[in-house]
Amino acid sequence: MSSQKIFLFDFDGVIVDGMQEYWHSSLLACEKYLNSPSIYVDQELYKRVPNSFKEIRPWVKYGWEMILIVHEIIKTENPLKNHNKDDFINNYHPNCQKVLNENFWIAEDLQKILDKSRKYQIEKDFKSWVNLHNPFFEIVNFMKELRERGIKTGVITTKGKIFAEKILRQLNIFPEFIFGYESGTKIKIAEKLTKTYEILGFIEDRKKTLIDIKQNSATSHIQCFLADWGYLKGSDRYNLSHEIKLLKLSNLEELVAI
């Protein structure tokens, strides 16, 4: 085992709450780049994140899904609202695929226009875009403390690397590594890192990701922590295996002893 120690973090929902940014950037992408005849973007929509979006967020794995969900929420006919939200959630992945097929969309193209929307905002008003992210300062301070103790930090996110990097820089956090969606799956990234580093832990708010890490022989030894403050489904906090620990922000100090 390498003597180089590293602690891994998910980004959105763990280091920052990016709910406003995802809604704003996805809405802008729909308005500016999607060219869908099924939607009408009222500027009032930018002012607050609807509950339906917040409640669907825990099912999302990749950024492109956000555009698809926003599109369904703002449709002029049969929009996705609270009354039919549960039906969408209960068959989430097939429903996403259905929307892709109905609109002749390709997931990679939706991801590209989400990135394009972010680049547009950054060039136009970087400060306003950054301020759409609300940091969890307990995590920010924990990451800085790890660095002071000689423990490296790494961020693995399904956001584009360049966007995560810009936000982390504003928070004065400089991880050893930042892996975005371009780098592949989180489990494959963790597997590669185990060849060079002793991974002390991974904080993530997507339960399925942690289960996959624990079920993979090359990464099963990694201590996994489910972020209680993140975008969790109602059932995520329960029936956790003993291998995955539910972590609260108030308990971060206990990890410093690792």
Domains in the chain with CATH codes: 5-17+134-255 (3.40.50.1000), 19-130 (no CATH)
Q: How many CA atoms lie within 13 A of 188 on its CB side?
A: 7
The DSSP line for 101-159 is HHHT--HHHHHHHHHHHHHHHHHHHHHHHHTT-EE-HHHHHHHHHHHHTT-EEEEE-SS
Q: What is the pLDDT of residues 98-157, one digit of tens each?
A: 999 999 999 999 999 999 999 999 999 999 999 999 999 999 999 999 999 999 999 999
Supply the mean pLDDT for the chain.
94
- pLDDT over 70 (residue 258): no
CA neighbor of 17 nearest in space, from 122, 116, 137: 137
User: With contact defined as beta carbons under 8 Å apart, do 114 and 67 qualify?
Assistant: yes
CA neighbor of 153 nearest in space, from 202, 216, 86, 93: 202
Q: Residue 23's pLDDT is what?
A: 98
Spatial distance between the Cα atoms of 211 and 12, rounded to a whole number of angstroms: 19
Torsion, Cα of 31, 35, 40, 45 (10° steps): -20
Spatial distance between the Cα atoms of 104 and 209, rounded to a whole number of angstroms: 29
- pLDDT over 70 (residue 73): yes
